[in-house]
């Protein structure tokens, strides 16, 4: 393992129109911390400046999308302002308040296990479980060691989408330590809600039951989407994770899973959430030490 994270030099951004009321900005053709942190910083600055006519701001892994009212904002003028904003922001000097959210996970749970066994003919390795396959192709000697690696460092929410409330998270470790797995050869037609899936270098939490193609690692008893906003932590939004938040996937056993799930279902569960001033430069310099400081806020 390296002590720091090698910085990625980004190419010139690509600005494109999306119909009459959207602008898409690609900061890089590949995902990196530099690209995502730049997308986070730029979109947060856009919100802070309260630019006229901006209807929606949506950061993604290495890009962002703006929806605007063409009666209030000229797209060419907006693009020029975005170009100036890109030049003004240096992510090494940028800081944002990030929530750190504890996400308990029952790895190799019975529900995702039953599901993945039903779809072995759609998988790269029909004779292995998703965890066994993922551990093997990443060079781990056991599933237990692989699970320790997946839960061993916090993960940044890089974007939310595909279906409402689905967070894509990127493990905050140097590139050479990243876990990588392919999606299924052919997607499943079923995936349990709250399943913990993995595809490429991203963990995703399935907010609702549905189709899916990510490798299945486990299930969390907590919700990331509460349409009726019945739980206390969803009062401001029906979606819990936001881009820029940090999720800490924590291994639990079946007893703790059932206890938490009972609290969620009766509406009394309270999420363990801390906050930090996230500083990209400190993370780049010492990711492992900085990650330890990040997770410590959950114990305060």
CATH 3.30.420.40 fits 14-91, yes or no: no
- Reply yes or no on whether the pLDDT at 7 is more than 50: yes
What is the rounded distance in angstroms from the CA atom of residue 289 to the CA atom of residue 283?
Answer: 8
Q: What is the pLDDT of residues 49-107, one digit of tens each?
A: 988 999 999 999 999 999 999 999 999 999 999 999 999 988 888 899 999 999 999 99
pTM of the model: 0.94
Token pair in block for residue 149 = 């690696």
The predicted model gives 28-41 an average pLDDT of 93
SS3 call for 6: coil
Superfamily of domain 97-299: Cyclophilin-like (2.40.100.10)
What are the angstrom distances between the C-alpha of 211 and each of 15, 206, 268?
32, 10, 30
pLDDT at 1 over 70: no
How distant, in Å, are the alpha carbons of 29, 91, 131 from that of 113? 34, 41, 10
Q: Please, are residues 221 and 261 in contact by the beta-carbon 8 Å criterion?
A: yes
| Domain limits, the chain | 14-91, 97-299
């Amino acid at each position: 393992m390296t002590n720091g994270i090698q910085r990625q030099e980004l190419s010139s951004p690509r600005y494109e129109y999306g119909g009459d009321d959207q602008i898409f900005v690609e900061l890089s053709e590949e995902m990196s911390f530099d690209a995502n942190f730049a997308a986070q910083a730029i979109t947060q600055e856009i919100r802070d400046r309260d630019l006229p006519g901006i209807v929606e701001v949506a950061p993604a892994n290495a890009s962002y999308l703006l929806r605007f009212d063409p009666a209030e904002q000229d797209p060419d003028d907006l693009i020029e302002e975005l170009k100036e904003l890109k030049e003004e922001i240096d992510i090494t000097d940028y800081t944002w308040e990030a929530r750190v959210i504890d996400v308990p996970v029952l790895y190799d749970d019975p529900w995702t296990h039953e599901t993945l066994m039903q779809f072995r003919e759609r998988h790269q390795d029909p004779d292995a479980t998703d965890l066994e396959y993922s551990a093997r192709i990443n060079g781990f000697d056991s599933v237990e060691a692989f699970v320790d690696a997946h839960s061993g460092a916090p993960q940044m929410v890089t974007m939310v989408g595909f279906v409402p409330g689905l967070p894509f998270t990127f493990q905050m470790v140097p590139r050479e330590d990243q876990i990588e797995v392919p999606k299924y050869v052919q997607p499943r037609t079923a995936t349990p809600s709250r399943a913990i899936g993995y595809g490429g270098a991203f963990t995703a939490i399935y907010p609702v039951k549905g189709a899916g193609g990510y490798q299945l690692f486990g299930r969390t008893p907590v919700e990331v989407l509460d349409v009726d906003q019945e739980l206390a932590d969803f009062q401001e939004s029906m979606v819990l994770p936001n881009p820029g938040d940090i999720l800490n996937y924590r291994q639990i056993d079946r007893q703790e899973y059932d206890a938490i799930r009972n609290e969620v279902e009766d509406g009394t569960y309270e999420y363990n959430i801390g906050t930090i001033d996230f500083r990209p430069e400190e993370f780049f310099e010492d990711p492992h030490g900085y990650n330890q400081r990040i997770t410590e806020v959950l114990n305060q």
